[in-house]
Amino acid sequence: MKILVWNELDEAGRRAALARPEQRSDAALQASVRAIVDDVRLRGWDAAAEQGLRLDGEAPQRVVVAALAEEARRTLSTAQLRAIDLARRNIIAFHKGSLPAEHEVETMPGLRVRKVWRPLDRVGLYVPGGATPLFSTLLMLALPARAAGVTEIVVATPPRAGGGLDPVLALAADLCGIAHVWTIGGAQAIAALAWGAGAIPAVAKICGPGNAYVAEAKTYAASLPGGPAIDMPAGPSELLVVADGGADPRLVAADLLSQAEHDASAQVILATDSRPLAETVAAMLPGLARDLPRASLAEAALANGRILVADTLDRCVEIANAYAPEHLSLAVAEPEVLVGAVRNAGAVFAGGQAAETFGDYLAGSSHVLPTDGAARAWSGVSVHTFLKAMTIQSVTPEAARRIARPAAELARLEGLEAHARAADARLDEVTA
């Protein structure tokens, strides 16, 4: 990773230092994704099956998970099963404890406005595939949806190498009360969930992370007439670490590599007020990366990384807010002092012991978080992702008498006479 001194960079240099990898917004990638989405949108199952054969190696399959889940229970160790159950329990506890309360405000005597929450009817969950089954992502999506009260959950994931569904992912589905999973990946999966394809039903909202193709497909599908809502832009992983001179360089390097191994398009950044720490971490990373099973991915991601040396920790937090990372680690002596200044981040890990890995698996909050700077305006997946709010207004006759004339005045001020007469009609009814 290249070391840059923040105060020596001009505005263009700073923008370049915080730029995401170019492949995330590649024009050819966007054109390819849109062609696939349009094909499935227009031709349905036939297109989904053809694209699945071409890109996944097999046509989509509806896999019943029960038998595969039992296979996973037989083959996984007791420690592995206990770890999965710990993650499940913590995720449930956090999201059930996060359910919003309904509330009512009497804005004036006799005029009551309530906010109530309702779960979405049907949601689609996309679980990335690849070399390993990301069963944790299914837990991080399905359990908040269940806590919110969603009754119909449609899951899509790429088939594993050699075809079919990985038993560990089937186990995760079973633990979430999901009876079957569709083995279809990429942009074709997003399009199938968005508009339906054969027995794959159309959903109201699509949630889940993915590579650049999946992220682009979600954004494109949501932009089309009749397209679904999406949780957020959730593409390749990213981590920004803010570290002071007292941070353990071994832990800082470990956290950076934990995200770098995700994908060649992943991005990791270290911002520090300590030049010695910057140099130590930079020297450690190449050797540590070479030892990883996914060394080639980690090394490609490190090539897109940066180490930024700033004059103060406050400046490091300013850099973090400008970048708006998916994950923000505060490897500093007094993390809570900085937490109050953080405005833009998907998730914050406060203190050197708060490994981002804990958040990925079992802290309780969802690891499905906004990427590519979307944390400036978007939040990560939570029970709120799977809920919608409605307001309910109740008016007594006395309140109607008080507000009818002001409401009619406001309507006529905007030139909406029918609105005004609807208000006047209530006044007539009350005084009749």
Residues 238 and 345: their CA atoms lie apart, in Å, by 11
With beta carbons less than 8 A apart as the criterion, state whether 370 and 218 touch: no
Q: What is the pLDDT of residue 144?
A: 98
Domain limits of the chain? 2-21+236-364, 27-103+121-231, 396-431
Amino acid at residue number 274: S
**What does the mean pLDDT of the chain come to?**
95
Asked if 2-21+236-364 and 27-103+121-231 have one fold, the answer is: yes
Residues 237 and 20: their CA atoms lie apart, in Å, by 11
Pairing of strands 62-64, 180-183: antiparallel
| 2-21+236-364 carries CATH number 3.40.50.1980 | yes
Residues 17 and 316: their CA atoms lie apart, in Å, by 13
Q: How confident is the model at residue 265 (pLDDT cuts 50, 70, 90)?
A: confident
Q: What is the pLDDT of residue 430?
A: 57
Please state which CATH class domain 27-103+121-231 belongs to: alpha beta
User: What pTM value is reported for the model?
Assistant: 0.93
Q: What is the pLDDT of residue 21?
A: 81
- State the catalytic residues: 326-327
- Tens of pLDDT, residues 313-340: 999 999 999 999 999 999 999 999 999 9
Residue 140 has pLDDT above 70, yes or no: yes
With beta carbons less than 8 A apart as the criterion, state whether 375 and 325 touch: yes
